Structure 1
Amino acid sequence: MSTSALPVPPVRAVIDAVLVGGVRPFGPRGVASGIAKAAASGRVRIGTLGLEGDQQGDPRHHGGPEKALHHYPRDHYPEWRAELAEQGAAGIGVLDAPGAFGENLSTQGLTEADICIGDRFRLGTALVEVSQARQPCFKLNHRFGYPGMSRAVQQSLRTGWYYRVLEDGEVEAGDTLALVARPFPQWPLQRLLHVLYVDRLDYAALSDMAGLAPLAESWRKLARQRLERQEVEDMERRLAGG
C-alpha cells in the first residue's frame, strides 16, 4: 500500500562528485566496460538513459532507463579499505577517489538504510526515482584485484542503488540531492537486499516485492520466479564470471 500522504522525512545530501566514463577494454580478457569513471567538471545533462557522456559496455546488464544512474555511498569506503587491506587486494588504490564502484553519483551521509524503493529525489534540476539496488557482478573482482569482491559486496548488503529519470535536468558536484516523496517507507533498501540475499525464500516478502510498482520489472520478475519455483536462482555466473 502506498503511504504518500505521510510527511516526507528530511533526507538530503550534497553531491560530492558526478562521474562519467567511456567504454574501454577491462580485466584480463579485455571485455568492454564503462566501470572506470572520472569526476566531471561543471554541469552535466541528465536524460532518460543517464548522464551525458557516460557509457556502458554491456547494455544487456548495465544502463538503460531502470539503471540510468548508479549511486554509491562514499560512507562505505573506509570499511572496504580495511577489508581489502586484510585481503592484500591489488586494486585497493581505486578507493582513493570517488568512482571505485563505477558509480555516477557519490555522496556521504546516505546509505541503504536511508533509502526506500520508489523514493523520489530532486537531483540538481532533474527528478529521479529509486528503481532497484545493485546486483554486484564479477567485474568488481577485477576492479579491486580481489576474486571475492563481488561476493563480499553482496554479503555486506553495501551494494548502492539505481535511479530512473522522471524529469530531465542537469547536475554538478555541490548540488543537493533532496527527497521530495516517499510512497513506500515499508520498503527500505536494506529490507529489499535482505529478501534478495539473506532470507531468500520469505514467500510473504517475495509476494509483496513482486507487486511493488516502482521496483524495476527485472526484480519483480525474480520475485515471481522464486515464488513459482520455490527455489533461489543460480548467482554463480554473475558473481564469478564465465
Structure 2
Amino acid sequence: MPHVLSVNVGRPRPNPWKRLPSTGIDKQPVAGPVAVTSPGPKGTGAVGLAGDRVHDVRHHGGDYQAVYAYAREDLDHWEGELGRPLASGAFGENLTTTGIDVNAALIGERWRIGSVLLEVSCPRIPCATFAGWLDEEGWLRTFTRAVRPGPYLRVVEPGELAAGDELTVESRPDDRRVTVAESFRAFTSEPELLPLLADLPGLPPEDHEAVRRRLSRTRPDATS
C-alpha cells in the first residue's frame, strides 16, 4: 500500500555552493502530525510544511513547490549507485514515499495524504546546492540522466499529515497525460518533448512561460 515513510523538515545550514548565506536542503524526519498549508507566491521562502522554508527564494518555494516528494525506492537505487547509505530526507525531500512510482505520476494528479490533498505540479530540476550537498563529481549530469527527479506538489486542501499515512491517488487527468519523468526530460535533456507541456493544466505559470519562450525560439520564423 503506498504510504509516507517519513515527513522531513529542513534546518538552516550554511550554503557554500551558492551566493546565499544558508540553505534548507538538510531535511530531517520529524515525529507526529505536521500542518500543511498553501505558502503563497514564490519569493518569500515559504513552503507547505510548518517549520520548513527555502532560502533561494528566487528559484524555490511558493504554491507550486509547496511540497517535494521522493521515493524510498529511488533513494535505494542511488544507494547502490553511490555506494553509501541515504537516509530519508537526504535529497531534500519533504515526503519520503514508498509503494508508488512518483516519477510516473501525471502532472495534475492528486494525492490524499492524511487530511491533505496535494496536486503534482512539476519535476524537481537539480541545482548547484543539490550538487554540493551530495558531493558527487558530475552529480547534476548523473541525476539528469537517471530521470528520477521526484515531483513538487501544490496544496489543494490544507490539513495535517504524518509518517505512516496512506498515500491515495484520488484523481488523474484523462486527456493531457504527461508524467513527471516526461516533463523532466523536456526541461533538461529532450527539448523535442516541450510541445507536450504547452498549456498543460497543472504546470506552474512560470514553467508555462519558460515553455513558450523556448518553443518560440525553435519556430521557423523566430529568426526571420
TM-score normalised by length of structure 1? 0.80
1:2-81 equivalent positions in 2, closer than 5 A: 13-27=2-16, 31-49=21-39, 50-81=48-79
Separation in structure 2 between the aligned mates of residue 223 and residue 99 of structure 1, nearest angstrom: 30
Provide the residue aligned with 2:180 in structure 1.
189
Q: Is contact 2:123-2:184 (8 Å) kept? A: yes
1:1-242 equivalent positions in 2, closer than 5 A: 13-27=2-16, 31-49=21-39, 50-85=48-83, 92-93=84-85, 95=86, 97-184=87-174, 186-200=177-191, 202=192, 205-230=193-218
Change (3 A) 1:108 1:183: same
Provide the residue aligned with 1:7 in structure 2.
none
Which deviates more from structure 2 when the two are superposed, residues 113-122 or residues 43-52?
Answer: 113-122
Q: Is contact 1:22-1:56 (8 Å) kept? A: no
Change (3 A) 1:158 1:208: closer
Change (3 A) 1:147 1:31: farther
- Encode CA deviations 1:64-96: one digit per residue, 9 max, x unaligned: 1110000011111232122223xxxxxx45x1x
TM-score normalised by length of structure 2? 0.86
Offset of 1:22 from its aligned partner?
Answer: 2.7
SS in 1 for 2:64: helix
Separation in structure 1 between the aligned mates of residue 92 and residue 206 of structure 2, nearest angstrom: 21
Unaligned 5+ runs, structure 2: 40-47, 220-224
4+ aligned runs moved over 3 Å, structure 1: 27-31
The RMSD of aligned alpha carbons is 1.9
- Encode CA deviations 1:174-232: one digit per residue, 9 max, x unaligned: 111111111156212222223223321x2xx433412112111122122111111129x
